[in-house]
Amino acid sequence: MKFIIGIGGVTNGGKTTLTNRLLKTLPNCCVVHQDDFFKKPDQIEVGEDGFRQWDVITALDMEAMINTVKGWQENPVKFARSHGVSLSPEAEEAGSEEKGIHILIVEGFLIYNYKPLIDVYDKCFYISIPYEECKRRRSTRTYTVPDPAGLFDGHVWPMYLKHRKEMEDNCDRIEYLDGMTSKEEIYNKVYETINNSLLNSL
């Protein structure tokens, strides 16, 4: 049985923290991080706002991302092995996806803004935090390409609001999570929801 979970959310909302925790506790679980599909800096256009357009879907190689997800769908055992994920003895013995549960987490800030990807999720989660907290967290992070002055207010937040509206129009299956609650609380809620879904699917 294959099960795909989307974990989306605003920048610095806690997506990766939640994903890493789930990876440790869910069986035969792999992950695809949207951030791994950013194009090279010289391929990122400068927009009308004067900033390089990192926070839009065209900054990402979404075709490569979809192909990676398809690779998992075609053979989750092979995918897990090639990504160094240890499988349960049951899954190892089976040598194919016939036995046991295989889970894929797709994690990123625009995972519900690309139609071909929306259709693959069995469960959708989205973490949001308010403007002030998001700006504070963002300012404490170090990026490979550092944020130029004014990027958050001039590009990051306006794009978040635009894409959030787009996402709400495109996908009505999202369960929203409050990123201001404790990491423990968010994890427990998501873990329980996933477990219940898996039990209902068996």
61-97: b (≥16 Cβ within 10 Å) or e: bbeebbebbeebeeebbebbeeeebebeeebeeeeeb
8 Å CB contact between 20 and 29: no
Q: Is 122 a catalytic residue?
A: no
8 Å CB contact between 136 and 130: no
SS3 55: coil
SS3 190: helix
Query: Running DSSP on this structure, what letter comes out for residue 182?
Result: -
**Candidate list 35, 36, 55, 178, residue with the active-site label:** 35
**Which element (helix H / strand E) includes 176?**
strand 174-178
Going by C-beta distance under 8 Å and a sequence separation of 6 or more, which residues neighbour residue 99? 90, 91, 93
Which residues form the catalytic set? Answer: 35
